[in-house]
Structure 1
Amino acid sequence: MNNFLFVAAENDAIPNCKAGGMGDVVRDVPREISKRGDKVHVVVPSYSRLHKNGVFKASLEFQLRGQSYEAELYEVVPKKILPNITHYAIHHPEITEGGIAHIYHDDPTEPFFNDFIKFMIFNTAVAQAIKIEAFGPLDIVHMHDWHSSAILFLKTYHPNYTELKKMRYVYSIHNLAIQGIRPFYDNYASVHNWFPEINLDHKALMDPRYQDCINLMAVGIRLADAVHTVSPSYKEDVLLPSRKPEFIGGESLEVDLQKADNEGRLFGILNASNYGNIRKAEKGFLYRNTVKALFRWLQDESKKYKADFLAHTGEKVMEYVGNRPKFIVSSVARLTEQKFYFFKRSPEALELMLTRLESIGGIFMLLGTGDPDYEEHFRKMSYKYKNFIFTNGQSEDLIDSIYLETDLYFMPSLFEPCGISQMLAMRNGNPCLVHHTGGLKDTVHHMKTGFVFDGDTYDEKIDNMVRSFDEALTIWEHDQPKWKKIKANAKKARFTWEKSLDEYYRSLYLL
């Protein structure tokens, strides 16, 4: 039996510990490993809340900032108890929750300031837990994004953690654009402040652009035994330099990624979707679940500033309760540049699409929260267009209803490491319209399982996005046999963890 440790900022196997797709992966991959008879431990920060109903397992004592620190390891109860998997949260008062999904901080004036502090404490606590064998003797440590890469820094450079060198380290990149860049010196949230005893190897640790800073994403890429991108096409993308906004590639780390690839350490393996134990939703409750979500948000103190808008959305939705639209287009995502750059830079393109949708009695439902500028942009669009329904919040019941009742799922991501939303939509037999990038290339095929747009220039991409949208609606209007075939193909497509894990074991874990 092999013994694995997963280290991440998110884990959707436990309640209230997810901000994005990483949480799904950290939930699903250990479940597949456990089916193979291997043992998995999954550890996340507590964010001062996740440990509260847990069972105390160990006290973790270590040095930071030249001082003694003590963190606590708790075993926590998952949503679903499965053999061979144990879930943990590490508590320390300075590992605080942020405003993004009660996990990450948004530090616009000094990026990563708060997150650097909490993840340094978390990583050092994990290193100490590995050292004292709190998880037993480990074979594989699998780390996810920059939040966990400091374990590699510690095992490589810290004299107290040389024992960590004996196991294999795998590093997964979920979003290369967020890199965890902080100064080496002269700042509270700097490497030297937290590890004054380490003689810093600047060249091995530094950001290619800001040479007075560490880049923790780069640390993961440079020091791991195996590096993993979450789709084969995203691997090909990140080996090339970015040309924004036409192409998002290696984001200044393409040279490091090329080196890892040349050394046989870089692998692109597609994330998968869950096809069993699906949270059941019933058809016919889309508008009811929208109204329920709106009422709940209206009672939330933190959402009082947008009460007028939530009421406006409720009024729009009520019109469709007894007068159902003929066609529903939907998107569910965090409102960020990655997901909706095309809509914000080219609102006229979205306006053309809404006008075309109106011609067939259709609506566009967008659900999400995120960047305040994007939220404000979509609120303005909602006031302007009757058939654009922007539900500015988060609700699992409503998201389930959207995936179940949409006719066309829209994913115009500027870049997409893998994407889970298109898989969830296809699982329900809903064709997707996507940008030809990253993992979307690997999962949606034009006129077979959905619709795809691309272009060599930004203007071409926008024109082709509008054209592909029109093409999809035209097929629905005038060629139902073809539409039904695309729907059936989408539903039959299978992206299983079993297949992906075969490749994990072969390439990443060498088992």
Structure 2
Amino acid sequence: ENFKRTTFFHIVHNGNWQYFDSYSRYENGKDLFSLFNIAQERYIEFSDPVKSDKINCMATGVRFADCVITVSPSYAKQIKVASDGLERVLTNVVGINNAIGRDFSERMLNKFKESKFADEYYPKLLDYIKKHRLLHEKIEEKYPEILLGADCYKTLKTKIRRDTILRMRNKLMLQLQRGFKVDPDKILFTMIHRVSEQKGFKLLLEASEGIFKNLGFQGIVGGPVAWGDKQGEELAAGLARLPDYYRDKVSVTIGFQDISIPLLASDLFLMPSLYEPGGISQLEALACGCLVTARATGGLRDTVNPVRVKGYIVTGNGFLFADYDAGSFYDAMKRSMDFFKKANERIIHRARINAKKSVYYWDKPARKYLDTMYSHKEIIRVIDN
């Protein structure tokens, strides 16, 4: 009775999570719906859209909401078409993109400095370069500033060169730390997520020979596994074996790992998700200047745009593929490799600037949330006496 005049919003982050709050109505001969102390004839409002003998709390929230909000415009369209039955009760859905704080890249830079990574690995990098003649010649020809000191990039006159030398310095140090071949021409990607079927690690495993052997990528891979996730544990076991096959090309860490160093050193960030309602990781990567290779699903479709080069004009911030299969993923990886191999320093820098400018920060989505909520505030309800 107290809520009859209240406007309700239901925010769906992930429609697949509805079954965490879904359970059978009858258990051990007892009617669990009776625990709600609600009239039996209203059970239909609490039932699962597909299996009427189950109680589905997410579907209930949708039915009672004046407006359903989800975490990206594309995902809003997707769940109205297919969402394990939830689409049967979804009508008024608004998609508002996820976002990150404006200070994210600054926080990553601070964490990088606090880690003392450059203090430890820059001297080691110089020693390594001096001992390898061909590498020394390549660095001296393309990136001689790296040999002049850890902070030499700060004295360079153009922003393009400063940013290029800084990221290349970081990449070479990371290659050395992870036991990779130290080579500025190698393209380095990062794929750090929760290790689960959703995040697309299956595609990485299936396409691993093509990615590491044929295309020659180097990769920083891993992340934590959720407790009780059997598929995640199987994927983690498969990932852990990758270094046995591609010893100097992939580094795998199962468990938490700091992302500041990989994001500030890698050329590319991978997010080949099976589904992705909104996505935060791609925004974090873009904010740090990483281009993103992703599957065009949910929020990834809204935030990652294909790189296009026409003369000196560069648009886009990444590389997309549509079908969830290893062949499509490999094709996107090949396109990203071709870009880095063919583009000059100026073109790559322009794409990285696009990446940083494309990030959704919270002030913009927050305004959309306010606009959406205030547009429903004046709903006039007819209250039965």
Question: What TM-score, normalized to structure 2?
Answer: 0.70
Does the C-alpha gap of structure 1 residues 319 and 465 become closer, same or farther in structure 2, counting only changes over 3 Å? closer
What residue in structure 2 maps to residue 377 of structure 1?
238
Contact 2:97 2:278 survives alignment (8 Å): yes
Distance 1:391 1:402 in 2: 13
TM-superposition CA deviations, 1:413-472 (whole Å, max 9, x none): 0111110111111111110001011111111110111111114xx5xx532321121111
Among 251, 256, 269, which residue is 2:84 paired with?
251
Q: Cα distance, 1:365 vs. partner? A: 0.9
Distance 2:327 2:12 in 1: 31
Give the length in aligned residue pairs.
Answer: 299
TM-superposition CA deviations, 1:192-228 (whole Å, max 9, x none): 3743565363321111332211112211211112210
Does the C-alpha gap of structure 1 residues 354 and 190 become closer, same or farther in structure 2, counting only changes over 3 Å? farther
1:173 aligns with 2:12: yes
Among 263, 267, 285, which residue is 2:94 paired with?
267
What residue in structure 2 maps to residue 53 of structure 1?
none
What residue in structure 2 maps to residue 368 of structure 1?
223
What residue in structure 2 maps to residue 408 of structure 1?
268
**Which letter maps to 1:275?**
R
Distance 2:198 2:79 in 1: 15
Contact 1:281 1:404 survives alignment (8 Å): no
What residue in structure 1 maps to residue 190 of structure 2?
330
Q: Cα distance, 1:172 vs. partner? A: 0.9
Q: Could you tell which deviates more after superposition, 386-395 or 433-442?
A: 386-395
Q: Cα distance, 1:271 vs. partner? A: 1.4
2:69 partner SS: strand
Q: Cα distance, 1:169 vs. partner? A: 2.0
Unaligned runs of at least 5 residues, structure 1: 1-161, 242-249, 290-315
Distance 1:494 1:191 in 2: 46
Does the C-alpha gap of structure 1 residues 201 and 413 become closer, same or farther in structure 2, counting only changes over 3 Å? same
TM-superposition CA deviations, 1:154-187 (whole Å, max 9, x none): xxxxxxxx32444322111111111121111225
1:223 aligns with 2:64: yes
1:320 aligns with 2:320: no
**Which letter maps to 1:443?**
T
Q: Cα distance, 1:355 vs. partner? A: 1.4
1:394 aligns with 2:256: yes
TM-superposition CA deviations, 1:252-299 (whole Å, max 9, x none): 211211xx22xxxx211111121126422327839989xxxxxxxxxx
Q: Cα distance, 1:488 vs. partner? A: 1.7
More helix, by proportion: 2
Work out which of the two has the higher radius of gyration on C-alpha atoms and give 1 or 2.
2
Q: Cα distance, 1:501 vs. partner? A: 1.7
Does the C-alpha gap of structure 1 residues 320 and 501 become closer, same or farther in structure 2, counting only changes over 3 Å? same
Pairing of 1:386-465 with structure 2 (within 5 A):
386=247, 387-395=249-257, 398-447=258-307, 448-455=316-323, 458=324, 461-465=325-329
Q: Which structure is richer in relative contact order (CA contacts within 8 A, separation 6 or more)?
A: 2
Distance 2:244 2:298 in 1: 33
TM-superposition CA deviations, 1:80-105 (whole Å, max 9, x none): xxxxxxxxxxxxxxxxxxxxxxxxxx
2:294 partner SS: strand
Distance 1:399 1:286 in 2: 15
TM-superposition CA deviations, 1:55-100 (whole Å, max 9, x none): xxxxxxxxxxxxxxxxxxxxxxxxxxxxxxxxxxxxxxxxxxxxxx
1:267 partner SS: strand
Distance 1:188 1:391 in 2: 47
Q: Cα distance, 1:482 vs. partner? A: 2.9
What residue in structure 1 maps to residue 81 of structure 2?
240
Q: Cα distance, 1:337 vs. partner? A: 1.5
Does the C-alpha gap of structure 1 residues 286 and 504 become closer, same or farther in structure 2, counting only changes over 3 Å? farther
Distance 2:30 2:233 in 1: 26
**Which letter maps to 1:485?**
R
Q: Cα distance, 1:374 vs. partner? A: 1.7
Contact 1:435 1:454 survives alignment (8 Å): yes
Among 330, 348, 371, which residue is 1:466 paired with?
330
What residue in structure 1 maps to residue 142 of structure 2?
none
Q: Cα distance, 1:233 vs. partner? A: 0.6
Pairing of 1:127-142 with structure 2 (within 5 A):
none
**Which letter maps to 2:238?**
H
**Which letter maps to 1:337?**
E
Distance 2:371 2:10 in 1: 15
Contact 2:180 2:250 survives alignment (8 Å): no
What residue in structure 2 maps to residue 485 of structure 1?
350
Distance 1:240 1:209 in 2: 15
Does the C-alpha gap of structure 1 residues 468 and 201 become closer, same or farther in structure 2, counting only changes over 3 Å? same
Distance 1:194 1:389 in 2: 51
Distance 2:263 2:368 in 1: 29
2:195 partner SS: coil
Among 353, 356, 365, which residue is 2:211 paired with?
353
TM-superposition CA deviations, 1:326-371 (whole Å, max 9, x none): 4320112111111126427xx331221111453xxx4211121222
What residue in structure 1 maps to residue 144 of structure 2?
none
Distance 1:351 1:495 in 2: 35
**Which letter maps to 1:503?**
K
Contact 2:206 2:326 survives alignment (8 Å): no
2:81 partner SS: coil
Distance 1:484 1:477 in 2: 14
What residue in structure 2 maps to residue 130 of structure 1?
none
**Which letter maps to 2:14?**
N
1:239 partner SS: helix
